[in-house]
Copies of this chain bind each other. A is one copy, B any other.
Amino acid sequence: MPFITVKVLEGKTTEQKRELVKKMTDVVTETFEVEKDKVFIFFEDLEKDNYGKHGELFSDINK
């Protein structure tokens, strides 16, 4: 039943996402005592032009 959204800077590989889904699902099932087939995970890729912190666009900070 947990629905998890992971917003992260673009550039993560499918392999990294595959690994995270596996490990994160394990952590959630252990901690919340829910079954594995109740865990849903969504990734949101954040473009550098769509992320601002400290008053600046991230694409300006990390050129």
A interface, CB within 8 angstroms of B: 1-9, 12, 14, 16-28, 30-32, 36-37, 39-46, 49-57, 59-60
Contact = CB atoms under 8 A, between A and B. Distances in A.
Contact of A20 (B3, B31, B59): B31
Given A12-B32, A44-B50, A55 B7 contact: no
A16 B39 CA distance: 16
A16 B36 contact: no
A41 B52 contact: yes
A39 B7 CA distance: 10
Nearest to A25: B55
27 contacts: A1-B8, A1-B9, A1-B46, A3-B3, A3-B8, A8-B32, A12-B32, A17-B52, A20-B27, A20-B32, A21-B57, A22-B55, A22-B56, A23-B30, A24-B24, A24-B27, A25-B54, A37-B54, A39-B53, A39-B54, A39-B55, A42-B51, A43-B49, A43-B51, A43-B52, A44-B50, A45-B50
